Amino acid sequence: MANQLNGGGVFLNLEVVASATRERHAEFLAAIGRTADDPEDRLAGVEEQLGWMRDAGMANVDCLWRWWGFALLAGEVE
């Protein structure tokens, strides 16, 4: 992924992420007015997704913001 961006660039991804517990996930679904997950969403934890970004060549990856099942993930291209 990183080779698709210019050096010095920043990649930002607002993503659906897995909740830490079943209870938190139920609260998240209720907060967004759903009773079930969208079958197209692949729910993975924040740390797992940050790992994918590192594996793709990103540096300085971090979760900048999180609200239940949504997270803003960022990485830099060197």
What is the tens place of the pLDDT at every residue in 52-76? 999 999 999 999 999 989 999 999 9
Q: Kindly tell me if the per-residue pLDDT of 51 is higher than 90.
A: yes
- Label each residue of 14-33 as H, E or C: EEECCCCCHHHHHHHHHHCC
Token representation of residue 29: 């679904």
Q: Count of domains in the chain? A: 1
Domain, as residue range, for 58: 2-76
Q: Higher confidence at residue 43 or residue 6?
A: 43
